[in-house]
């Protein structure tokens, strides 16, 4: 019974337009050639892709898997990744091109050219060196989305210090745990940041965390809000004081390809966050390859990714990937509804954004707010849209296509993880016919399979475990300080052809056309009367109903059926709940999927528990549905109050 059943069938097809194909880096023929090259000789294929980086010593070795599951890529290569992101552009026409266009929440903005960004990174790197921070040290970056965040990250990379960015929404407790786990010696932060018109007290949070972090020697503080803060003499330095003495020259530290570029803690959707370690050369190659082809990046593009640099999406597709290609990147400091719910669309029109990358959770929020917000903007510069983070339900995909892409822009639904470093499964916009809700096919060089527990491959439309059977350059190298956790978490029991394979934690199926559908986390799969059902399909059916804005589905132990289905539902603001809403929604799920998926209970709520990256935490909902309250790890939860409200939700059951 290891198969996850599926009842979803999406028939709509969206081929790329002729005009898009004409100008794209890759059309379907070009993609076929890449796939052939990659499958003929994966090592040579990736060595070829590594040429997109600037090396001081070019690698001759591809994958070294001799210590499986501990891998090395390009092991004899040496480089500094900031040379690929910055220095290489200084001798070209990109020297005075905008690298970063930054939009502050209060409406201020700054533009930094490649020349200016390089200079600021070098000044900051030189200042770090002067404080005694050196190659191999760990530096925490806890900042608002301001240009200095990007500068800080690159300055660490410049001197070979391993950065660990902590999302600016995290509390003192979360900072303390990550600092101590990473063994960091310095923190780069700001006095505060703006979020929904309020000031977030970043420096204050750091001070609180540092009461329990004996290893921290230096705190560097960028002035953003100008609020009152306490400076600890000897330990704390104002960023502006440190860099004003620096000239703008700083030799890059040349490191081996395997040098750890960064540690990043996962979102914590399924449990306690893990310190994911990424390499320099392999990671850089993966993001260079994917940024170019998935986003079809060109010199004329203005690319806006709404993720925070505190998540892997921000690392790979705000900082490293786009800068390697000399793109213009738009970053926004604040919330999408501040000061009004059309803020993203306003930014798109203001800067002429051509590529827009966001998350399904954000798209569902835009839908809930209503079509009138995007309608007021032209958005005629957009040519490509992307999503990442969760399965996108077809209803949200269609809304994105119509209301943001205006029927004109291809959508790339990109499946990947903090651990994969870069995009693994995605359409290529000039080459792939898309189906709403499917992330389509693995990229060239990426070996993804769906298997049963016993390691045999699932047939078409049979749901099973999503695994990666061959190493890829952007693969995480270990869990920081805990190689055993790395081995157990990712290379546990699942084997293919007798060899342990990387397990993603996700359930999925390939359809009859070889398109991949992610069905949700394997831990969340429902087991109802002997049928295993993925959460994504039931949620997608619920969200497909015009009254529903968001839904999360979990199982609760049930004597008769094994598990009963409990659905937590948020209604659209335009629809008030009536006495028969629950019955209507249950009937809707039966109509869409079948009687087996009929929710036993529907609970109406005004908000769902989410991680700070916007993902639904079903493990907490499962506890609430079962015991009435949640006691699991809640450090990555966005809003603690939501738990109390959920325990008292309005259920249709008496
Ligand atoms: P943790 O591992 O700590 O529980 P997390 O898995 O949420 O946290 P991330 O690395 O941010 O941390 O998320 C990766 C996961 O997000 C994937 O395993 C998958 O479940 C989901 N995901 C990302 N992109 C997509 C997508 N395009 N389609 C479906 N699911 C996606
Ligand atoms: Mg995960």
pLDDT digits (tens, 9 = 90+) for 36-71: 999 999 999 999 999 999 999 999 999 999 999 999
Supply 572's token pair: 């659209």
- Find out whether 635 and 268 touch, Cβ atoms under 8 Å: yes
| Whole-Å CA distances, 628 to 415, 550, 554, 571, 645 | 33, 21, 13, 22, 11
CA distance 154 to 330: 17
Name the closest-CA residue to atom 15, ligand 1: 417
Q: What sign results for the dihedral spanned by CA atoms 122, 128, 129, 130?
A: positive
Say yes or no: CB of residue 516 within 6 Å of ligand 1. no
CA distance 128 to 140: 12
Cis, peptide link before residue 581, omega less than 30° from 0 = no
Supply 544's token pair: 């497909």
- Position in ligand 1 atom list of the atom nearest CA 311: 11
Residue for token digits 């091109």? 97
Q: How far is the CA of 97 from the centre of ligand 1 (A)?
A: 34
Query: Which ligand number lies closest to the CA of residue 267?
Result: 1
Task: Provide the 3-class DSSP secondary structure of residue 521.
Answer: strand
Q: How far is the CA of 374 from the centre of ligand 2 (A)?
A: 32
Residue 161, H or E segment: none
Which residues of the chain form CATH 3.30.300.30? 529-647
In this prediction, residue 2 has a pLDDT band, given cuts at 50, 70 and 90, of: low
Q: What sign results for the dihedral spanned by CA atoms 538, 543, 547, 553?
A: positive
| Whole-Å CA distances, 263 to 56, 166, 634 | 24, 10, 21
Residues with Cβ within 8 Å of residue 459, at least 6 apart in sequence: none
Q: What is the mean pLDDT of residues 595-624?
A: 93
Give the chain's radius of gyration (CA, Å): 24
Q: How far is the CA of 364 from the centre of ligand 2 (A)?
A: 21
178-213 pLDDT tens trace: 999 999 999 999 999 999 999 999 999 999 999 999
Closest residue by Cα to residue 625 from 518, 521, 553, 542: 553
Say yes or no: CB of residue 518 within 6 Å of ligand 1. yes
Secondary-structure class of domain 529-647 per CATH: alpha beta
User: What was the pLDDT predicted at 10?
Assistant: 82
Say yes or no: CB of residue 225 within 6 Å of ligand 1. no
What is the pTM (predicted TM-score) of this model? 0.96
Closest residue by Cα to residue 46 from 71, 25, 80: 71
- Find out whether 334 and 195 touch, Cβ atoms under 8 Å: yes
Say yes or no: CB of residue 444 within 6 Å of ligand 1. no
Q: What are phi and psi of 568, to 5 degrees?
A: -100, 125
Q: Give the HSE-up count for residue 7: Cα atoms under 13 Å, Cβ half-sphere.
A: 20
477-513 pLDDT tens trace: 999 999 999 999 999 999 999 999 999 999 999 999 9
Which residues of the chain form CATH 3.40.50.12780? 18-467
Q: Is the pLDDT reported for residue 578 higher than 50? A: yes
Q: How far is the CA of 175 from the centre of ligand 2 (A)?
A: 20
| Whole-Å CA distances, 187 to 243, 308, 461 | 16, 18, 48
Say yes or no: CB of residue 618 within 6 Å of ligand 1. no
Q: Is the pLDDT reported for residue 527 higher than 60? A: yes
Q: What are phi and psi of 589, to 5 degrees?
A: -65, -40
User: What was the pLDDT predicted at 654?
Assistant: 44
Residue 567, H or E segment: strand 562-571
CA distance 490 to 492: 6
Angle at 368 between CA 343 and CA 592, to 5 degrees: 140
In this prediction, residue 4 has a pLDDT band, given cuts at 50, 70 and 90, of: confident
- DSSP H helical ranges for 70-214: 81-85, 114-130, 147-159, 172-182, 202-210
Supply 120's token pair: 């600021």
Say yes or no: CB of residue 266 within 6 Å of ligand 1. yes
Name the closest-CA residue to atom 23, ligand 1: 389
CA distance 560 to 557: 9
CA distance 341 to 365: 10
CATH number, domain 18-467: 3.40.50.12780
Q: Helices 114-130 & 147-159, crossing angle to 10 degrees?
A: 60
* Pocket perturbation via mutation, ligand 1, pick of 262, 263, 269, 277 by most ligand atoms within 8 A of CB: 269
Q: Is the pLDDT reported for residue 431 higher than 70? A: yes
- Position in ligand 1 atom list of the atom nearest CA 273: 3
Say yes or no: CB of residue 273 within 6 Å of ligand 1. yes
Q: Order across the sheet with 384-387: list the strands.
A: 109-113, 98-103, 328-332, 302-305, 355-358, 384-387, 411-413
Q: What is the mean pLDDT of residues 246-253?
A: 95
CA distance 624 to 634: 13
Name the closest-CA residue to atom 6, ligand 1: 269
């Amino acid at each position: 019974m290891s198969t996850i059943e599926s009842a979803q069938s999406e028939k709509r097809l969206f081929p790329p337009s002729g005009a898009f194909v004409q100008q794209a880096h890759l059309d379907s023929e070009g993609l076929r050639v890449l796939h052939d090259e990659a499958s003929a000789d994966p090592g040579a294929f990736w060595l070829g892709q590594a040429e997109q980086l600037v090396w001081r010593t070019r690698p001759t070795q591809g994958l070294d898997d001799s210590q499986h599951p501990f891998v090395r890529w390009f092991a004899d290569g040496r480089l500094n990744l900031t040379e690929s992101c910055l220095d290489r552009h200084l001798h070209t026409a990109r020297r005075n091109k905008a690298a970063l266009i930054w939009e502050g929440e209060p409406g201020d903005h700054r533009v930094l050219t490649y020349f200016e960004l390089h200079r600021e990174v070098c000044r900051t790197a030189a200042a770090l060196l002067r404080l005694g921070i050196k190659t191999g040290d760990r530096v925490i970056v806890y900042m608002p989305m301001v240009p200095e965040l990007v500068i800080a990250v690159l300055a660490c990379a410049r001197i070979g210090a391993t950065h660990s960015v902590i999302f600016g929404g995290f509390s003192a407790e979360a900072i303390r745990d990550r600092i101590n786990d990473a063994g960091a010696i310095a923190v780069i932060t700001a006095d505060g940041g703006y979020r929904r018109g309020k000031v977030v007290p970043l420096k204050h949070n750091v001070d609180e965390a540092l009461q329990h972090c004996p290893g921290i020697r230096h705190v560097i503080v960028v002035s953003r809000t100008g609020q009152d803060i306490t400076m600890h003499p000897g330990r704390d330095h104002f960023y502006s004081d440190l860099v004003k003495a620096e000239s703008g020259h700083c030799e890059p530290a040349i490191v081996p390809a395997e040098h750890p570029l960064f540690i990043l803690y996962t979102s914590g959707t399924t449990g306690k966050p893990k310190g994911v370690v990424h390499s320099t050369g392999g990671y850089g190659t993966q993001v260079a390859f994917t940024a170019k082809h998935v986003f079809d990046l060109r010199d004329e593009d203005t690319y806006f990714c709404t993720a925070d640099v505190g998540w892997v999406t921000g690392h790979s597709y705000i900082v490293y990937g786009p800068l390697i290609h000399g793109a213009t990147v738009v970053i926004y400091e604040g919330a999408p509804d501040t000061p009004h719910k059309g803020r993203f669309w306003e930014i798109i029109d203001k800067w002429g954004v051509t590529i827009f990358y966001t998350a399904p959770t954000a798209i569902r929020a835009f839908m809930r707010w209503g079509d009138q917000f995007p309608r007021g903007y032209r958005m005629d510069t957009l040519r490509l849209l992307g999503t990442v983070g969760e399965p996108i339900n077809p209803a949200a995909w269609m809304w994105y296509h119509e209301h943001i892409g205006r029927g004109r822009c291809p959508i790339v639904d990109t499946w990947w993880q903090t651990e994969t470093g870069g995009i693994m499964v995605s359409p290529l916009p000039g080459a792939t016919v898309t189906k709403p809700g499917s992330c389509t096919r693995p990229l060239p060089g990426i070996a993804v399979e769906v298997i049963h527990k016993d390691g045999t491959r699932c047939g078409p439309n049979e749901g099973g475990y999503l695994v990666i059977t061959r190493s890829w350059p952007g693969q995480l190298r270990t869990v920081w300080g805990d190689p055993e956790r790395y081995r157990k978490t990712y290379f546990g029991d699942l084997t293919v052809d007798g060899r342990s394979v990387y397990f993603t934690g996700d359930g999925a199926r390939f359809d009859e056309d070889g398109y991949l559908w992610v069905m949700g986390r394997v831990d969340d799969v429902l087991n109802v009367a002997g049928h295993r059902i993925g959460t994504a399909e039931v949620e997608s059916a619920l969200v497909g109903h015009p009254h529903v804005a968001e839904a999360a589905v979990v199982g609760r132990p049930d004597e008769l059926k094994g598990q009963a289905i409990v659905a937590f539902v948020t209604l659209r603001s335009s629809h008030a709940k009536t006495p028969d809403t629950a019955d209507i929604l249950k009937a809707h799920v039966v109509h869409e999927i079948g009687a087996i998926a009929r929710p036993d209970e529907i609970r109406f709520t005004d908000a769902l528990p989410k991680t700070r990256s916007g993902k639904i935490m079903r493990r907490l909902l499962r506890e609430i549905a079962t015991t009435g309250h949640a006691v699991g790890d809640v450090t990555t939860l966005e809003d603690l109050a939501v738990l109390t409200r959920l325990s008292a939700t309005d259920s249709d059951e008496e």
